[in-house]
Amino acid sequence: MAPDLGSALSALSSGLLVGVPTETVYGVAADPFSADAVDALFAVKGRPEGRPIPILVADVAAVGAVARLDQRALEAAERHWPGPLTLVLPSVPGLPAWLGDVRKRSIGVRVPDSAVALELLAAAGPLAVTSANRSGDEPAFDDAGARAIFGDEIAVYLAGSGSGQAPSTVVDLTGPVARVLRAGPVAWPES
């Protein structure tokens, strides 16, 4: 295990925030099962309440900790993960109230295509991850850009950068018809 990864895991288990590269933009991660950590993530971003934070996982098998995959979602995941597609899925019963959209009982999930992020997720489990920026501002694409924005507000910055492409495509699969909530690198509807 890389020394920075050990520091990141320690920070996350202490409820602190960690910077992590993804294949799109650089992200800020928190333990999704800690209300204090998720509150800190909302605070550092200046993110409005009611805008759920997506959950990143290491692989399709890890989705079951937070969401239910039906056949349609599983097929989309197999085609596009790891990669820049966030699927909004029905959340599993018993999730903390601060995760996902409580009214719709849904949660956004993604498997990123970044070796650094996947190594962290494999060791830490699911993480709440959002782009490294103040809400409404342009996101950082690497650890240096994130450090310039957040400084000491983030406990550990894992080295790396995204591709500079747009944030992930977000597709809601909770209803009978898939709905694109945010266009991005993955074209939808699929051909």
- The predicted model scores a pTM of 0.93
Higher pLDDT: 136 or 122? It is: 122
The region of weakest confidence among 17-26, 98-107, 169-178 is: 98-107
What is the pairing mode between strands 26-30 and 127-131? antiparallel
- Provide the pLDDT confidence category of residue 2 given band limits of 50, 70 and 90: low
Q: What is the mean pLDDT of residues 155-160?
A: 94
Q: Are 14 and 153 in contact (CB under 8 A)?
A: no
Fold of 3-182: DHBP synthase (3.90.870)
pLDDT above 60 (res 3): no
Q: What is the pLDDT of residues 160-188, one digit of tens each?
A: 887 777 889 999 999 999 999 999 899 98
Give the residue from 54, 120, 61 showing the smallest Cα distance to 84.
Answer: 54
Domain ranges of the chain: 3-182
Q: How far apart are CA 162 and CA 158, in angstroms?
A: 12
Q: 3-state class of 29 per DSSP?
A: strand
pLDDT of residue 190: 66
For residue 191, name the pLDDT band (cuts at 50, 70, 90). Answer: very low
Which of residues 123 and 52 earns the better pLDDT score? 123
**Mean pLDDT value across the chain:** 92
Contact 114, 24 (CB under 8 A): no
| Gyration radius from the chain CA atoms | 15
Note the pLDDT tens digit of each residue in 37-47.
999 999 999 98
For a pLDDT cut of 90, what percent of the chain falls above it?
80
